[in-house]
Structure 1
Amino acid sequence: MANSSDHTTCVADSLLQIEIELRRIDAWESEPPSPEALQSAQPFAVDTLEFTQWLQFVFVSRMKVLIEGGQPLPQVSGMAPMAEEHFRGREESGAALISKLEEMDRLLSGQP
C-alpha cells in the first residue's frame, strides 16, 4: 500500500478518538481485569468482560502495540454493531463512541 504511513496515522488518530470517548463517558478504567478474564476465547470476551473493558484492555492495547511496532493492522473490523448492542437499553446512548467505532471499522476494512 503506497500510503500505508498515512493509513496508519489515520488509524492511530481514530484509536485516540476512541480512547478519548471512553474517558468522556467514564468507561475508562484504571485497573485492568484479571489475567484470566483477558484470556477469553469468545469474541469481544463477552463471557468475561464488559464491551468497554474489551475495547480498552484488548483492542486499544493491542492496536497500540501493532502501530508502535510497525506491524500489519487488522484488515477487517466490525465493532460498531457490538457497541450498538452493548448500549441498547442503557442510560448512556454511546452514540459518539459508536460513531468513532464505525470510523475505525471503515479504516481497518479499507472502506472510504
Structure 2
Amino acid sequence: MNPDPQTRLYAIEQELKVLSWWQAQPPAPEALASQEPFCLDTLTFPQWLQFVLIPRMQALLDAGAPLPTSIALYPMATESFKDLPENTRALEEAIALLDESLTGKRVIREA
C-alpha cells in the first residue's frame, strides 16, 4: 500500500483547481447531509470530492485513525466525467492513485 494518501488527496485538490472546479463557497448544509452515495442527489462529483471526501479523509489522517481499505472512486469518476468537454485524465489518474494507495490493489484504467 502506498504510505502517503495525503499526497494523493493534495493531487486531487490540485487537479480540481486546474479544471476551475474548486469552489470558494461550500454548498448548503442540507446538500452535504444527503444520504445518497456521493451525495448524487445534491452535489456534483467534483463538489463531493472537495466538500466530503477530502475533508473526511483529512480528518482521519489528522486523527491518526484507520483509513478505508475498501474504496472505488475511480469508476464513479470516469462515469461522472465521461460526457464533459474538459480533459479530466489527470484528475481521474489522481483518483485512481488514491484508490490504489488505500486498497493496495491496482486500478484498471479505461483506455
TM-score normalised by the chain length of structure 2: 0.90
Instruction: State the shift of 1:110 in Å.
Output: 1.8
**Equivalent residue, structure 2, for 1:55:** 49
RMSD of equivalent CA atoms: 1.4
* Corresponding residue for residue 40 of structure 1: 34
The answer for unaligned runs of 5 or more in structure 1 is none
Q: How many residues align?
A: 106
Q: Give how far 1:92 is off.
A: 0.6
1:68 to 37, 62, 70: 62
Structure 1 consecutive aligned stretches of length 4 or more whose deviation exceeds 4 Å: none
**Equivalent in 87, 90, 94 of residue 96 of structure 1:** 90
CA distance in 2, matches of 1:48, 1:39: 9
Identity of matched residues, %: 41
Q: Which residue of 2 aligns with 1:22?
A: 16
Q: Tell me the CA shift for residue 98 of structure 1.
A: 0.4
**CA distances 1:6-62 after superposition (whole Å, capped 9, x unpaired):** 72xx10011111111111111100000011000111111100000000000000010
Partner amino acid, structure 1, of 2:73: M
Offset of residue 91 of structure 1: 0.7
Higher helix share: 1
Of structures 1 and 2, the one with the larger relative CO (CA 8 A, separation 6+) is: 2
Mark the runs of 5 or more structure 2 residues left unpaired by the alignment.
107-111
